[in-house]
Structure 1
């Protein structure tokens, strides 16, 4: 899958986490991988010093580890979520929609 590392893509990923009932917070800290997930509180903490690309990559790395109830996601988010899970490494010619109607 290929997509652009833009603020719009980051916003869409944040919305996906919100629909999955996870809060995304940007905090400073000493994270080895750039993020920390607090499963009990359903919070993903991302290193705030990461740029947009780093934040997107951290969220993409977290996504497969979460327990997301697919029935809670809207139609567009569910489709995008499944595309992200099918090809998390960014390999292949499949294109992922990053534009949303807000």
Structure 2
């Protein structure tokens, strides 16, 4: 049986030096800019839930992200075909799919 994994979780970040592989043509300081994304990130890490993080440039959001999440806000989550773009909905999904006892 395969372990459940969140396919993607988008984390918004400022343009950053040294992250050219994640954020092409970046400049400035490195910091997560979305406190809601940080909340989801803390829960996923604390619960040791496998997930994939994709950084999104707040200035030039990629078309791929906007196609998935037209509001353009983060966090965004894809899980088994579901697209979630509200923190509360993502946290509920984590509790439902992975169990509160896991957290």
What's the TM-score bracket when you normalise by the shorter of the two chains? 0.3 to 0.5
Q: Which has the higher strand share?
A: 2
TM-score by length of 2: 0.32
Q: Which has the higher helix share?
A: 1
The one of the two structures with greater contact order (alpha-carbon pairs below 8 A, sep at least 6) is 1
* Rg (Cα) greater in structure: 2
